[in-house]
Amino acid sequence: MNSYVTKGVCSRKIDFTVENNKVKKVNFTSGCPGNLEGISKLVEGMEVKEVIERLKGIKCGFKSTSCPDQLSKALEKHIKKIDLGA
């Protein structure tokens, strides 16, 4: 399980699991429960890079980011960590 502390959104943290380059489980702490549960279920089973491409840059109102955008950032960080062999 990976954890990512969010910035600039209502959700405080994202916990997620990646197996064989696919998102297996996503759990947001705080935020809009119905919307975030929906996002979590929609991305389950998707390739990590596809999730990043679909969610990156989504904004919430006047904020410069959103919970979906934060998930893309969490997955990007995960990829970088793997590429660095950490």
Q: Does residue 85 have a pLDDT over 80?
A: no
CATH of domain 2-83: 3.90.1010
Integer Cα distance of 23 and 6 in angstroms: 18
Distance, CA of 77 to CA of 15 (rounded, Å): 13
Q: How much is the pTM?
A: 0.94
Q: What's residue 76's pLDDT?
A: 98
* Span 34-41, average pLDDT: 97
Question: Binning pLDDT at 50, 70 and 90, where does residue 82 land?
Answer: confident
Note the pLDDT tens digit of each residue in 1-31: 999 999 999 999 999 999 999 999 999 999 9
Is residue 70 within 8 Å of residue 52, measured between CB atoms? no
Domain boundaries, the chain: 2-83
Residues 29-54: what's their mean pLDDT? 97
Region 41-48: mean pLDDT is: 98
